[in-house]
Amino acid sequence: MKLTADFFQGNRKALTDRLPEGTAVFLFAGSSRPMSRDDDYRFLVDRDFYYLTGLEIQDAKLILTKDREYLFIPFPDEMKERWHGKRMRAKEASGISGIRQEDIHDTGDFDTKEYEILEEQKLSPAFDGLSIAEESNRFAKDKAGALDIGEILTKMRMVKKPEEVKAIREAAMITEAALKDMKKLIKEGATEMDLYTALDYNMARRGSLIPAFTTITAIGNNAFYLHHGDPEGEEGPRVAKGCQIQIDVGARCAGYCADISRVYFYGDREGEDDKRFLLHELITKLRRKCWETIRPGITFDELNKIIRQECGNWLLEKGLLSEGYTDDDVKKYYWHNTGHHLGLDVHDVSVRDMAFEAGNCLAIEPGVYIPEWNTGFRIEDDVLVTKDGCELISSGDDSLDGIIIL
């Protein structure tokens, strides 16, 4: 799917409506970063810049005032394009962003326009203090007293419009289709690299060339390393009867991220005391408690406390904690937060202590890790906060039928 120019025009209008009179905002797409002497890492534009324009053009710049907008992109250059690839034309950039073609200029004209706006028109400068673009940081240092509008954009991005939710839902569908294809490779002797490459390939062939984050495929005890982003090959752990496999993966669609974690058990239950299955009972219980709890007015801190309390009661029942245990005792097994905001970034921008409101998209991932049992995992799905509670964006599949692989 593609987002329309109306969407990006609406975002720019919402931002400028929140600006003080006489302000000009300077925003930057960012530049590619060198990977070697003669190649760069694949470029991903600053997410706030994308939110306002829909453009993935490195070195692009945007100036917004109450009544005007100016976009600067690298104009066609036959020799540079021969070596570095085709550049987007102004007409196409206009169609995507909704910025009038006559307001699109070459990046070489930026300094002149900046001088005109700040020195001749005497507008006050503003910048995005949360931008990852280095040029934004340099601009802020050069313009003492410039207004930081980062929090304004953050609060805007926290509440998703229907088309944003649709994009996240599509990203989740791509992710789960890739998981379904990957599962066919879970068999005796398979490596983390086998599973990793299958996931990234199957997302890419469905249009998600850049994953939402580094794919995690962790077999056995590697699940105790929460961000195990370097899959091991033949030298590492392999799928074997009785093992668990932790997957954490997300595709992108129209710039928006999914974030889904799944666990798989290779081989059926090994006796009534199979710790994998005991822990699965807890994780599914915690997930249901999350769905019941999430609603407008609840904060992440409140959600975390409720879920850790449920977890603590279970750990006490299983003899892993003693009477009088503290919240810190629970955290010895409940290592990470229950969730985070989701959107153009997988850990999307947010004001962490703000209460949930309708339109928030969250990735919810209760996880428990018990070294004494040699098992630990999380199951994660994406949800939308509604006016009455929450609803799943991804499938929410956590049944043993989908987890056990024989």
Last residue of one domain, picked from the residues 95, 124, 157: 157
The pLDDT value given to residue 224: 97
Same domain membership, residue 189 and residue 202:
yes
Same domain membership, residue 174 and residue 100:
no
Contact 55, 99 (CB under 8 A): no
How many domains does one find in the chain?
A: 2
Contact 250, 236 (CB under 8 A): no
Would you say how long the chain is, in residues? 406
Q: Is residue 245 helix, strand or coil?
A: strand
Same domain membership, residue 137 and residue 39:
yes
Cα(189)–Cα(167) distance, integer angstroms: 36
The pLDDT value given to residue 138: 94
Q: How confident is the model at residue 75 (pLDDT cuts 50, 70, 90)?
A: very high
No. of helices (H) and no. of strands (E), the chain:
13, 20
Question: Over the chain, what is the mean pLDDT?
Answer: 97
* Closest C-alpha among 274, 226, 250 to residue 342: 250
Kindly report the CATH number assigned to the domain that includes residue 368: 3.90.230.10
Kindly report the CATH number assigned to the domain that includes residue 105: 3.40.350.10
Residue keyed to tokens 């229950």 = 338
For the segment 127-156, the average pLDDT, to the nearest whole number, is 95
Same domain membership, residue 356 and residue 208:
yes
42-73 pLDDT per residue, tens:
999 999 999 999 999 999 999 999 999 999 99
Last residue of one domain, picked from the residues 141, 157, 173: 157
77-128 pLDDT per residue, tens:
999 999 989 999 999 999 999 999 999 999 999 999 999 999 999 999 999 9
Same domain membership, residue 65 and residue 87:
yes
Same domain membership, residue 193 and residue 320:
yes
Q: How confident is the model at residue 387 (pLDDT cuts 50, 70, 90)?
A: very high
The pLDDT value given to residue 10: 98
Same domain membership, residue 188 and residue 120:
no
215-233 pLDDT per residue, tens:
999 999 999 999 999 999 9
Domain region containing 265:
162-405
Cα separations in angstroms, 305 against 246, 261, 298, 327, 366: 25, 22, 11, 8, 12
How much of the chain exceeds pLDDT 90, in percent? 96
Same domain membership, residue 115 and residue 260:
no
Same domain membership, residue 181 and residue 131:
no
Cα distance from N-terminal residue to C-terminal residue, the chain: 36
Q: Is residue 54 helix, strand or coil?
A: coil
241-298 pLDDT per residue, tens:
999 999 999 999 999 999 999 999 999 999 888 999 999 999 999 999 999 999 999 9
The pLDDT value given to residue 111: 97
User: Token pair of 304, please?
Assistant: 């975390």
Same domain membership, residue 122 and residue 210:
no
Same domain membership, residue 144 and residue 215:
no
Last residue of one domain, picked from the residues 139, 157, 175: 157
What phi-psi label fits residue 271: left (phi over 0), alpha (psi between -120 and 50 degrees) or beta? left
Same domain membership, residue 371 and residue 284:
yes
Can you state the percent helix, strand and coil of the chain, rounding each to 5? 40, 20, 40
Q: How confident is the model at residue 352 (pLDDT cuts 50, 70, 90)?
A: confident
Q: Is residue 396 helix, strand or coil?
A: coil
Cα(312)–Cα(339) distance, integer angstroms: 18
Residue keyed to tokens 């802020």 = 140
The pLDDT value given to residue 190: 98
